Amino acid sequence: MTDRRMLVVGAHSADFVWRAAGAIAKHTLAGGEARVISLSYGERGESGELWKVPDQTVENVKRHRHDEASKAAAAVGASFDSLDLGDYPLEVDNDAVNELAEIMRDFKPHVVLTHCDKDPFNPDHPVAYTAVAKARLLTAGAVVEAGFRTAPPSEFLVFEPHQPELCGFVPSVFVDITGVFEQKKKAMSAMAAQSYLQQYYAERAEHRGNHARKVTGNKEIRQAEAFMRVVPNVVGAL
């Protein structure tokens, strides 16, 4: 696992926390490197609490969201950056896709995580998927040698959305996050304004832990996160 690199791309700055903080922590615990990129700060659609503060400004909201996300990323051993493209709606033009592609070419991730491609409850999540999928393909080249700078192909998975069945999300793999659950809770607690989501996703991790126990019979597993693979992975043996 040492030297593996993970890239996590969220539409808004808090997305990675609820959906993948445990998998990030396990990755970095194993000696891997993890980068979180958010395409926007979620400053319009997911920062209502902050806007209740008198004389609030968009710069301040973004700064606040940046600090929270940086703290959460640090709690699981990852770096955090935002492309600050705006939200509700998030728009990712060709330049931004190219910026993502350049990040991929430089970072050469072994695994890429993002939102799934459908979400009837969020206008920005599918936009993020489309941008990440496109950037990833632009860096990977075709089956023949490409005439531009590429990165090795990466494993590509989507993390669990808020209402999975309605987003076409079917788990392909559970990551056992039992050993890093305290880190995930710490990352979640950095999102001070959304305490009810902290409870929701802590319970959700317990439920996925139940599912992972059921699948394996391994009673040591207490918490897990679910992911869906977009492309198959390759293994040496089953």
Subset of 78-137 contacting its own copies (CB under 8 A): 88-89, 91, 94, 97, 111, 113, 120-123, 133-134, 137
How many residues interact with its own copies (rule CB under 8 A)? 92
Q: Choose, by CB under 8 A, the member of 52, 55, 59, 95 that binds its own copies.
A: 52
Quote the least distance from Cβ 144 to its own copies, whole Å.
5
* C-alpha–C-alpha distance, residues 148 and 32, integer Å: 27
**Closest by alpha carbon to 183, among 9, 13, 24?**
24
Q: Quick one: which segment of 63-71, 73-81, 182-190, 202-210 binds its own copies (CB under 8 A)?
A: 202-210
Quick check: 172 binds its own copies (CB under 8 A)?
yes
Q: Quick one: which segment of 68-76, 78-86, 181-189, 223-231 binds its own copies (CB under 8 A)?
A: 223-231
Residues 6+ apart with CB under 8 A from 235: none
Place of tokens 């993948």: 20
Quick check: 149 binds its own copies (CB under 8 A)?
no
Backbone phi, then psi, for 163, in 5-degree steps?
A: -125, 80
46 token code pair: 């997911």
For residue 26, which amino acid is it? Answer: K
* C-alpha–C-alpha distance, residues 222 and 21, integer Å: 16
Residues 6+ apart with CB under 8 A from 138: 97, 98, 101
Residues 181-200 within binding reach of its own copies (CB under 8 A): 193-194, 197, 200
**Closest by alpha carbon to 37, among 126, 123, 119, 97?**
97
Quick check: 2 binds its own copies (CB under 8 A)?
no
Quote the least distance from Cβ 237 to its own copies, whole Å.
4
Quick check: 144 binds its own copies (CB under 8 A)?
yes
227 token code pair: 């992911």
Quick check: 49 binds its own copies (CB under 8 A)?
yes
**DSSP tag of 58:** H
Given a contact cutoff of 8 angstroms between Cβ atoms, the answer to whether 21 and 76 are in contact is: yes
Quick check: 53 binds its own copies (CB under 8 A)?
no
* Minimum CB distance to its own copies smaller for 47 or for 82: 47
Given a contact cutoff of 8 angstroms between Cβ atoms, the answer to whether 28 and 56 are in contact is: no
Quick check: 33 binds its own copies (CB under 8 A)?
no
Quote the least distance from Cβ 228 to its own copies, whole Å.
9
Q: Choose, by CB under 8 A, the member of 71, 141, 186, 222 that binds its own copies.
A: 141
Quote the least distance from Cβ 90 to its own copies, whole Å.
11
* C-alpha–C-alpha distance, residues 236 and 175, integer Å: 19
* Minimum CB distance to its own copies smaller for 6 or for 83: 6
